[in-house]
Chains A and B, each alone.
Chain A
Amino acid sequence: MTEASLYDQILDFSNRANPWPLYEKLRSQPVWQESDGTFVVSTYREIYALMHDPRLSSDMTNLLPQFADRVPPAEGPHSFITTDPPRHDVLRRLAMRQFGPPHRPDLIDRLTPALSGIVTGLIDKIAEKQEVDLVDEVAYPFPVAVICHLLGVPPEDEPKFSAWVNPIVNALARPTPEQVQARDDARQQMSNYMFELAQRRRTEPGDDMISGYVTDDSPDGRLEGGDLFATLMLLLIAGHETTVNLITNGWLTLQRHPDVLERLRTEPRFAIRLVEELLRYEPSVHILPFRTAVSDIEIGDTTIRKGHPIAVMLASGNRDPECIPHADRFDPDRADNVHLSFAGGVHYCFGAPLARLEAQIALTQLAKRLHNPRLVADPPPYRPSPVLRGPIHLRVAYESILPAGNG
């Protein structure tokens, strides 16, 4: 047998805690072709260019037939994340219409006090303890509560989503047959639930996003039927798994950099630049695993072949010293932080502003309220996925919880 490729090693769970040395080796050439036909792109400039290249496709029906088994089987319509323009643009515009500018420009801004309130409540709940799993107590329930609130999912139904989302996320890269089965079951149940919820909102609309989707007539029409469910599933999954990782990776990084943690406690507005650097340094999404090309794309000496799978290594690009000065240093003061963590071009992360706010608020409150926090295990145990990478648990011990609003 041949030796495992760098890409194989990156996907291998044993390297989840520290993929960075592998990324560094990967960057020794911008594009690798795996023996299974996949092209792997790892350097900043090439990733940036690819994300603005109209030959790159997110529509996996453009894969050559021999690669068709690489992607989740297509059931029904696709969300905007797996379509190309012009369909992508219409679906995304319809989805954005209930979420942000130009139609609802201040939805997220107005949510800010509620976000703080949710975090305060979650931290209050752990006041009697001296050690918790930060994932279970804060990082997970916070974004779930927010996305459920935005979409109009009743709070009592939130626990169901935890059970549905995990198997879907775990099957994102090279799933086993069991993982595929678990994923399909979860999708089916979630879809049934969303169908019922949408039906209710048609007759009893509120000011939530689902009500908007099923009642608002936009210039592009309504988001209906399979398109609606595809979009809702996407928002639910993408809307919290990534934020959980951002908050958890963020806290882990802060504990590893006590001086920065101290600045977060004391410097006003420090969280703004801190979170931007966290996004670069420890991104939630390490890989865009589902891309292909509608034409050959020449990059340097390599030609990415039409119809082949492409894996875009965002996290590796973020640490590319060719473009990012002292890329391996965690430096919240860096100027012109132009990371790839939300991708770029027309597929730029839909929920990025919300993710930023959530992380800024959660990390600031944690820093100010956890008295003498320390990691129980470093490195912590990681989730299986190499794509959405982050700790599955992050146990933190502390002396006490300070009251909210105290400095």
Chain B
Amino acid sequence: MASMRVVVDLTKCEGYAQCAFLAPEAFRMVGDEALMFDPAPPDELQEKVLRAAAACPVQALQVDMADLPTPPPTATVSADGDDRLRHEGRIVIVGASLAGLKAAEQLRAEGFTGKLTMIGDEPEEPYDRPPLSKQVQTGWAASADTTLPRRRDIAADWKLGVAATGLDLEHNFVTLADGQHVGFDRLLIATGVRARPWFVPEEAGLDGVFTIRTRADATGLRERLMAEPRRVLVIGSGFTGSEMASVCVELGIPVTVAEAGPAPLAGALGGVIGRIAADIMREHGVDLRVNTRVDSLQGEDGRLRRALLSDGTTLDVDVAVVALGGIRNVEWLQGSNLAVGMWGVACDAGCRAFDANGLVTDDVFVAGDVARQPQPMFGYQFLAMEHWGNSVTQAQVAAHNMISGKTDRWPHLEVSAFWSLQFGNNIKSVGVPVIADQIAITQGSVDKRQFVAAYGYKGRVVGAVAWNQGKWLDFYEKLIEQAAPFPPPYDMTNPPADPTPVPAEFPAMTYPGRDATVVVTGHDPSERRATLVRGRR
């Protein structure tokens, strides 16, 4: 096992390339500003990697505790803080991935000395998922090497490889698949999402059909890509699907992308940007089929052989990557009387979960991909942000609030951000583009694939996307925080050919909880209770 583990917070990374200069074996620039990193560089690179970490201008590069002495916990004991909880309390974190680990580190960093239990259904320690569809598939890193570095000793009792199956809020314990009960004073739900499988189970079971979410997925897919498949079919062209198409191009494997909507990335970035993404895919030789569904996957002897598309064509394929988004892992909470469903777990801006009545709980918190919280900056809408950076910041806020008194709580108000690396392009975004009604190119050149576009909603800036121009996004983040006017009413350097706002062309948004069915019982206000009814879908 490598002694050193590395992760780069690519939300923060602005592509200054200092790490790539100082430790070129472990960090590699793709184009001018996208970064690939080896999550487990060999021991002999340790000095260089430490140099790289120290040099990062935005301190985005995280190494195991090796690089710095562990700082003492910050003494933030509040006037109304519960000191007994801080010192003797029992905190259980369900979900041992990025959000869970970051919450655990934050708890210890803030001086929580009680008992901490980490529960995860996968057998591995927390690992980083973004490399699974990038470095791991191109062979630059091994799937097994993506374990997240530890920023401090979290002294947890780990229960890995055993899923949580139930939650009892009357007696405050979590039930595990092996029948154990784990009691808590505070609970963090960070169970995330799983990949949405191909909707026909027999076809999904064919050898050669993959989703990509876990290490095991990534390992299997990598093996199959190395076996010279005739063609790869990518189903769906969101970020994961597009990145997989890019990987196939890099590996020289013929690839078809079937997208049911009008353009790649259109769901996250709108039709205007989607058309640019489509052009880039085709320039790189991807057989992109938009407005096209996959009607069936067909196999011989249990192995995938061909796919039938809704445009009437049949493709000979050996590998299909199903990239149709995720399903939130909430089934284990169905008996809990929390307000959970396909929308995830709703919580307040301080990450406290709502129960089925819509009442906020005091001891159950939510963070990461499974959380859906109100976004004050974006019309107080309840939004789930399935982004790496969101998992980190939300987990830190949740952890802080778990052990803080009510006058000391933080709201989670980070402007969300995400990135994608595909076809040599570094695509970064801030804010919530999906709520926008308009988009305007504000800087640079679309033709050169070096531009920034701002998203507006009713005359104010709500998001931005940078295409190989990531160093400007801090500016747009501030515009979003300030509810600045859209389009920005002033000159900038590097003005675009045409700054005129146009419709952003997002598919209509529907709140996934819209169809939730709730039955209310009782007459007296003290008796009235809501119950979520399930199984009516």
Contacts and interface: CB of A to CB of B under 8 A. Distances in A.
A344 B22 CA distance: 18
B22 A49 contact: no
B20 A49 contact: no
Interface string B48-84: 1011001101110000000011010000000000000
Contacts of B20: 100-102, 105
A93 B469 CA distance: 13
Contacts of A56: 493
B472 A276 contact: no
A106 to B, nearest CB: 4
B16 A348 contact: yes
Nearest to A99: B21
B50 A57 contact: no
A342 B30 CA distance: 23
B450 interface: yes
Interface stretch (A133-141, A208-216, A241-249, A350-358): A350-358
B22 A53 contact: no
Interface in A101-125: 101-102, 105-106, 108-109
Q: Most chain-A Cβ atoms within 10 A of its Cβ — which of B21, B30, B473?
A: B21
B48 A109 contact: yes
A56 B475 CA distance: 11
A139 to B, nearest CB: 21
A13 B23 CA distance: 40
Contact of B491 (A89, A105, A295, A356): A295
B22 A108 contact: yes
A84 interface: yes
Contacts of A295: 490-492
A345 interface: yes
Interface string A263-276: 00000010011011
Interface residues of A, number: 45
A52 interface: yes
A54 interface: yes
A30 to B, nearest CB: 15
B29 A105 contact: yes
Contacts of B29: 101-102, 105
A105 B22 contact: no
A322 interface: no
Given A100-B17, A100-B21, A101-B20, A86 B445 contact: yes
A335 interface: yes
Interface in B3-37: 14, 16-18, 20-24, 28-32
Interface in A21-62: 48-49, 52-57, 59
B284 interface: no
Contacts of B450: 86, 89
A346 interface: yes
B69 A54 contact: no
Q: Most chain-A Cβ atoms within 10 A of its Cβ — which of B443, B450, B492, B493?
A: B493
A296 interface: yes
B447 to A, nearest CB: 11
A333 B55 contact: no
A109 B24 contact: yes
B57 A342 contact: yes
A102 B30 contact: yes
A338 interface: yes
A72 interface: no
Contacts of A336: 59
B474 interface: yes
Given A49-B474, A106-B24, A93 B32 contact: yes
A295 B475 CA distance: 15
Given A52-B471, A89-B450, A296 B54 contact: no
A45 to B, nearest CB: 10
B48 A352 contact: no
A86 B468 CA distance: 12
B68 A335 contact: yes
B21 A276 contact: no
A273 B493 contact: no
A338 B69 CA distance: 18
Nearest to A52: B474
A337 interface: yes
A85 interface: yes
A204 B443 CA distance: 41
A294 interface: yes
Given A93-B32, A109-B21, A86 B494 contact: yes
A338 B59 CA distance: 7
Contacts of B472: 52, 54, 345
Contacts of B22: 108-109, 353, 356-357
B107 to A, nearest CB: 18
Interface in A65-111: 84-86, 89, 93, 100-102, 105-106, 108-109
Contacts of B16: 348, 352
B444 A105 contact: no
Q: Most chain-B Cβ atoms within 10 A of its Cβ — which of A54, A86, A357?
A: A54
Nearest to A110: B24
A385 B69 CA distance: 38
B493 A84 contact: yes
B387 interface: no
A85 B24 contact: no
B406 interface: no
Contacts of A54: 442-443, 452, 472, 475, 492-494
A108 B475 CA distance: 31
A353 B59 contact: no
A353 B69 CA distance: 24
A335 B492 contact: no
A345 B472 CA distance: 7
Interface string B431-467: 0000000000011110010101000000000000000
B18 A352 contact: yes
Given A55-B492, A102-B29, A356-B51, 16 more contacts: A54-B443, A85-B444, A86-B448, A105-B20, A109-B24, A294-B493, A295-B492, A333-B69, A337-B54, A338-B58, A338-B59, A342-B57, A348-B471, A352-B55, A353-B21, A356-B18
Interface of B: 14, 16-18, 20-24, 28-32, 47-48, 50-51, 54-55, 57-59, 68-69, 71, 442-445, 448, 450, 452, 471-475, 478, 490-494
11 contacts: A55-B490, A86-B450, A101-B21, A102-B29, A109-B48, A269-B47, A273-B54, A333-B69, A337-B59, A345-B14, A348-B16
A-B CB proximity, top 6 nearest: A353-B21, A295-B490, A54-B492, A101-B29, A85-B494, A84-B493
